[in-house]
Structure 1
Amino acid sequence: MESIMNDSKNLSTVSILFHQTIADRLGLHITDHKCVDFLFTQGPQTAGEISKTMGLSTGAVTSLIDRLEKKGLVERKNDPNDRRKVRIFLTQDLAAMQKIGSLFESLAKSVWEQLSGYTAEELKVILDFTRKSIRIMEEEREKLLRNRPDV
């Protein structure tokens, strides 16, 4: 089990470094890159929702959104269900999204090839481990966010 724990830690570090490299290639801060990813997977969000999910101050999120707007990656729009709210949407800039996607193509292909070497039963175990690991990480992060000292 110690080997799995160590390798999980190494995977986490390599993942962070990979995403930092992607962000660098896009001319973004890593936080900005992960915000784009968050909006891509979760859909339009309010600045408050981004702040809560990413653990950033509202001021930091405002600056983040401003930077992404300048890059043409997001836009602020009134919420269609509540005009008092403003939601952050990814733009329809196909070229920008294709550029981001192209940076992940090789990784996705390699991971797909790796996974194709496992049986259906082995894939169930991998999926179970992955989902439980995500849940544990989210729970531990929430604990840290709840218990962080005022800085």
Structure 2
Amino acid sequence: MTSRDDLAASISDELVRRFSTSTVLYHHAIAERLGLGPSDHKCLDLLVQRGPMTGSQLATITGLTTGAITGVVGRLVSAGFVRREPDPADRRKQRLVPEPEQLPAVREFFAERKGQAESLLDGFDRDELAAIATFLQRAIDFSETGAAALRAEILHAGGRAALRSRTTEEASEEPE
């Protein structure tokens, strides 16, 4: 029988990474099926989850440049998934608002797969499901906190290019 420590190491060292990669690839395929790019799809998902926000706010959350967000927003608007409207807090800014008329197509896509996803939980009792829910919430918190910390590190270093340059310099200084 596998020890708790060995099982925990297997989960944290291998399974989480494999799960993350398979999730990214699955969401790439979902985006393609919806006629979107992967960043477009996840930005739309953030707007649906968190509600209307400005492009700058979306850029901060995602770590995408404002130029990249401009492209994402343009594609989402052209596809009819998002509309721009004046920000009530600052009329000079525009908020990005998911288009309710287009969201049923996205929800329908996921509803068609809901039974498959729910079947993953078959055979687990209430306590096991609670443990899964706890793990997933911890993983979400870890990912969100980690992403924010990495972005802060990038900003503190003077941006992506400065951080890449510094990382390259540090790697060349390491003894062989």
2:31 is aligned with 1:2: no
1:83, CA displacement in angstroms?
2.4
Deviation by residue 1:59-79 (Cα, 9 ceiling, x = unmatched): 111111111111111110012
List runs of 5+ in structure 1 lacking aligned partners. Answer: none
In structure 2, what residue type is equivalent to 1:143?
A: A
1:113 corresponds to: 119
RMSD (CA atoms):
1.6
Greater Rg by CA:
2
Q: How does 1:124-139 map to 2 (within 5 A)?
A: 124-139=130-145
Distance in 1, Cα, partners of 2:100 & 2:141: 32
What CA distance in whole angstroms lies between the structure 2 residues aligned with 1:150 and 1:12?
A: 23
Q: 1:150 aligns with which of 136, 160, 172?
A: 160
Q: Does residue 42 in structure 1 map to residue 57 in structure 2? A: no
Distance, in Å, in 2 between the alignment partners of 1:101 and 1:58 is: 28
Distance in 1 of aligned mates of 2:26 and 2:39:
13
Please, what TM-score do these two structures have when normalized by structure 2? 0.77
Q: Give the Cα separation in 1 of the matches to 2:160 and 2:25.
A: 28
**Structure 1: distance between partners of 2:113 and 2:153:** 36
Q: Which residue of 1 aligns with 2:167?
A: none
TM-score (norm 1): 0.89
Runs of 4+ in 1 over 6 A off after TM superposition: none
How high is the sequence identity, in percent, across the aligned residues?
Answer: 33
- Secondary structure of the 1:36 match is helix
* Aligned length, in residue pairs: 149
The runs of 5 or more residues in structure 2 that have no matched partner are 1-7, 162-176
The letter of the residue matching 2:144 is E
